[in-house]
Amino acid sequence: MPPDPSFDELILRVGSGDEEAATRLVRDFEPVVRRVLRARLRDGRARSEFDSMDICQSVLAIFFVRVAAGEFDLKGPDDLIKLLVTMTRNKMAEKMRRQHRLRRDSRRTVGGVEELVLAGRDPTPSSVVAGKELLEQARLRLSEEERQLVELRGQGLSWEEVAASLGGAAGSRRNQLARALDRVAQELRLDEP
């Protein structure tokens, strides 16, 4: 199936920090993440322990940082859906492992979801500003070489072209960027609520 030019443009715009493109992506693909979370949080105890909105925002924040760094090779909307579903499942599994590791007894936690607040589909101005600040903080934490990787990927170069430009192997450069983004996500505490 040939790549969708409008989708390619959307991903490039999102990667370059375009607010309108990010808003469109969230509007179109956030429901996929929420559906996966609802399926994973079927029992009442899981719903009381984990906030689906926090997990959804964490998945999307990590996605935006990584797409801005040019880490993903998405050919179409189906690839994006598969990626977001995988990221959501992994995030949920990580949260459950962490909860189990800390031996939390949900019966002993106080409170829970006391009030249902329906979130609008459009991001708030403050979330747009926060997203820009998050991307800037991520870029500041990258080394010069890692920023070059991000820049070249942001220009639409393949990993082979990036490796030819900077030297090394395509897979090594991809792994270098993945490790750098994992480090930045940990430093920015994107995995925490």
What would the pLDDT profile of 37-62 be if each residue is shown by its tens digit? 878 776 666 666 667 777 888 888 88
Q: For residue 133, what are the domain limits? A: 5-105+115-187
Q: Is residue 193 part of a domain?
A: no
Taking residues 93-109, what's their average pLDDT?
Answer: 66
pLDDT value for 124: 62
Q: What is the pLDDT of residue 160?
A: 92
Place of tokens 């991809």: 174
Q: Determine the pLDDT at residue 115.
A: 42
pLDDT at 46: 60
Select the more confidently predicted residue: 42 or 93: 93
Q: What is the mean pLDDT of residues 70-93?
A: 86
Residue at 49 is within a domain: yes
Residue 63 lies in a domain: yes
Instruction: For residue 36, tell me if it sits in a domain.
Output: yes
Contacts of 44 (CB under 8 A, 6+ apart): none
Give the per-residue pLDDT at 47: 61
Domains identified in the chain, total number: 1
What pLDDT shows up at residue 132? 73
- Residue 174, in any domain of the structure: yes
Tokens for 106? 């949900």
Whole-angstrom CA distances from 19 to 76, 132, 183 are 20, 9, 25
Residue 72 lies in a domain: yes
Q: What is the CA radius of gyration of the chain?
A: 18
Q: Please check whether residue 110 lies inside any domain of the structure.
A: no
Higher pLDDT, 179 or 114: 179
pLDDT tens, position by position, 112-169: 444 444 455 556 666 666 677 777 788 888 899 988 888 888 888 889 998 999 999 9
What 44-49 contacts at long range (C-beta under 8 Å, 24+ apart), as own/partner pairs, is: 45/106, 47/113, 48/106, 48/109, 48/112, 48/113, 49/99, 49/104, 49/106, 49/109
Report d(CA 38, CA 175) in Å as an integer. 32
Judge whether 175 lies within some domain.
Answer: yes
